[in-house]
Structures are given as C-alpha cells and as structure tokens.
Chains A and B, each alone.
Chain A
Amino acid sequence: SYVLTQPPSVSVAPGQTARITCGGNNIGSKSVHWYQQKPGQAPVLVVYDDSGRPSGIPERISGSNSGNTATLTISRVEAGDEADYYCQVWHSGSDHPVVFGGGTKLTVL
C-alpha cells in the first residue's frame, strides 16, 4: 500500500512562513490534498489537487508537489493557523484508495 510521511510537528513564530512536507514514492505524479483540523472539529479541506484553494481559504495558504515531496506553505502565520494538518492522496487501482499522512501539528510560538 502507498505510504505518506509527514513530520510530527512544525513550529513557527507569528508572521513567519511555515512549510509542512508530505513524502511519498513519486508523489509528484499524484494529486495531493491538504486538510486542517482544529481541536474538537472536523477536518477542513484547505488545498486540493496540489495547489488549488477552496472558496474561503486565504491566499496565505498554498501547496506544491514535485518528485517525492508535496509541501503545504502557510505565509504570514497567525495564531489561528495553529492546528493539525494532514495530506491525502487517491491511490488509483488500489483496494485502499484513500491514503492519509500521519499528520503534522503546527505550533505558533
């Protein structure tokens, strides 16, 4: 089965840029989606198809994907960005098509 690897935690000061990575074998050939989850809430889609932004998601949040690494970038980080972030892909042709990364806790210092 396909495996996605994320760092358990990332810390950044307010106003700085946070980068959260998601590693996978030739992940650049797949469409990567990112979710933000705050405590006690359901996840929210923040980036789809590598770099698309759903309505209502600020331009400060962006994504990229190449080679074996996809990256979620949050510019001008705010206290309200503190949350868990998960990457996800659709692994076509598999009996386990939906794959999540282990999640990254973003801490705003």
Chain B
Amino acid sequence: DTAVSQTPKYLVTQMGNDKSIKCEQNLGHDTMYWYKQDSKKFLKIMFSYNNKELIINETVPNRFSPKSPDKAHLNLHINSLELGDSAVYFCASSRTSGLEGEQFFGPGTRLTVL
C-alpha cells in the first residue's frame, strides 16, 4: 500500500495556465506538507497543515494555494504558472507537527512549465 501518494507524477503545461497537484496519505497522520525541490535538488518547505489548519506558510507567491479538504488530503493549486515554477513538488506527512515527527514523503510530481 502506498503511504503517501501524489497525482500526477508528471505535469507539463504552458506558462499562464492553472494546475493542481493532489496528495493523499493513508497513514492516519495529522500533519501534511508541501515541499519544492529545484533543479539543483535543493529541498524547501512551502506549506504545512495540521488537522486541516495551515500552520506553516513560507515565503511562497500567492499564486500557490494549498487546500486540505480533510486530514488525509492536501492539494496544491498553482495559478498563472511561470517558468520558474518548474520543479519537483513533494507532499509529505507526519504523525505530529512536533519536533520529531518523522516525515514520510510521496514520490513527487515533476512540473515542467514551457
């Protein structure tokens, strides 16, 4: 069984389009995250939700909007896509938002903006 799943795995789109990436976890975790990994493999947190409430919102353009319909899902919607948005986006989850909540990562969504 896949613990943290993301769809789609690959996303190729034109500049200016709006797209969404979906994430689901079946681990019963309370906290979910979105990370961006750039072409140099640098991994940076974007958002974190705990029990459907936003708890971390790093400096991310407001074109990015996370939505958590329930504890098991955290989707990422991106408006007006730009070339610089091309990256791999990882969803992750953890049992708690506390210090040592091991984060389980999904397989990633490679977004390419043309």
The answer to whether A and B belong to the same complex is: no
- Contacts from B to A (Cβ < 8 Å): none
